[in-house]
Amino acid sequence: MAVALEATKAAGAIIREGWNSDREITFKGRADIVTDIDVKAEKAVLEILTSAFPDFGILAEESSPIAGKSQYRWVVDPLDGTRNYAQSIPHFCTIVALADSDEVIAGVVYDPVREETFTAARGQGAFLNGSPISVSETTELSRSLLSFDLGYVDEKAGLAIDLLRSLWPGMYSVRLMGSAGLGVAYAASGRVDLFFHHSLSPWDIAAGLILAKEAGGRVVDRQGNDAGLFTPSVICSSPVLIDGFLAATDGLPWRTAV
């Protein structure tokens, strides 16, 4: 955890330094971008992680996977919410998680703008800047603040919008996050009642899996099965709200689409 915290803080310093400077933007897809800051931050993170644990594998967004000689591997997103960052919207984070084979056992989500650090380790609880956190105590979907992101799969993003339209006005309100890492961290800490997404990569969700679990919540896929490191679709909330969300959205195309 100490090494993961050091790595996220190093990335945060680079991200803050680049905040008011011109950023080089490269398009990986229609709406999928990477900045030079993503690359610089990831380089700093990987140098710290590999120096401390040279045998661990690495799975990082902007680099080729490293197999490693150990059963452990780091999962890294140097800048989750790149589009927010590129547009000077101060809502993004750095994610560093540790997995034992495919089971995430520790994770850090660091917001360098607000200086907020979400941490969790297996069996040790979940925390925000050292204070314990827990998922929402709201039990009714109609009184819940739902959050989600569109991602890069246009068809499924459209189905997510349709899902919300079918629920409205059967919820308190909706927030479009722009950072899945913070979306899950906010769900784990009760800032939002539920977060869902249809197409995530392992580095987007890795820390969130352990954060939610240690905060008393669950992360499941669109079918309601427990999510893992390589689960693309996720719903994160308390067990009772997840049950309510699954019941309210049963049969909707967002839930059933392949």
The set of residues, in sequence order, having a beta carbon less than 8 Å from that of 56 and lying 6+ positions away, is 49, 50, 68, 70, 72, 73, 74, 98
Burial status of residue 63 (CB atoms within 10 A of its CB: 0-12, 13-18, 19 or more): middle
Q: Does 61 show up as a binding residue in the annotation?
A: yes
Do 254 and 162 touch, CB atoms closer than 8 A? yes
Q: Does 77 show up as a binding residue in the annotation?
A: yes
Question: Locate tokens 């401390």: which residue?
Answer: 52
Q: Does 194 show up as a binding residue in the annotation?
A: no
Q: Does 79 show up as a binding residue in the annotation?
A: yes
Phi then psi dihedrals of residue 97, to 5 deg: -135, 155
Total length of the chain: 258
Q: Does 145 show up as a binding residue in the annotation?
A: no
Do 81 and 178 touch, CB atoms closer than 8 A? yes
Burial status of residue 53 (CB atoms within 10 A of its CB: 0-12, 13-18, 19 or more): middle
The pair of three-digit structure tokens given for residue 258, joined into one six-digit string? 């392949």
Q: Which residues are annotated as a binding site for Mg(2+)?
A: 61, 77, 79-80, 204
